[in-house]
Amino acid sequence: MVFGIPLKITKIEIRPGVIVLEMTGQIYMGPDCQRIQQEVEQLLGRSEKRIIFDLERVSYVDSSGVGAIVKCFCTLKKSGGSLRLAGVKGMIANVLKMSQVDKIIEIYPTAVEAAGNFLPAGEAEG
């Protein structure tokens, strides 16, 4: 297996109570998936429950990467939070559609649009 750009994750609070994890590179099984899950667990530990994965700069995701995204979605949902995806295009969009992840996790063109969909802080998500 040829690995390309290592996964880089940048945390941004796009508005109060809404955290964007901007991902750049490729998401492969192993350390990449573990890092994504650890980031979500750390955010939950700080009571951050409204998270957006910005995948605009992700060029590749394997099946383990899709599994990690779904696991994060389930972890957040069980904790009363929610996950949105943004910037999904090309190969990533195809993989999410084939795996039907697009039917369970809301996808938005941009992180700003995804953030606008969250209810104000303190109100329960649907």
Q: Which of 4-8, 12-16, 41-45, 84-88 has the lowest mean pLDDT?
A: 4-8
Report how many domains make up the chain: 1
Give 47-98 pLDDT, tens digit per residue. 999 999 999 999 999 999 999 999 999 999 999 999 999 999 999 999 999 9
pLDDT at 120: 59
Length of the chain: 126
Q: Where are the alpha helices (DSSP H) in 15-62?
A: 31-45
Residue 73 lies in a domain: yes
CB 111 within 8 A of CB 87: yes
Residue 98 inside a domain? The answer is yes
- Residue 60 located in a structural domain: yes
The predicted structure's pLDDT at residue 6: 81
Q: What is the CATH number of the domain that holds 50?
A: 3.30.750.24
* Collapsed DSSP state (helix, strand, coil) of residue 109: coil
* Residue 99 to residues 62, 96, 104, Cα–Cα distance (Å): 11, 5, 10
* Spatial separation of the C-alpha atoms in residues 41 and 102, rounded to whole Å: 22
Examine residue 121 and state whether it is found in any structural domain, yes or no: no
Q: Within a domain: residue 3?
A: no
Q: Is residue 94, in this structure, part of any structural domain at all?
A: yes
pLDDT digits (tens, 9 = 90+) for 28-59: 888 999 999 999 999 999 999 999 999 999 99
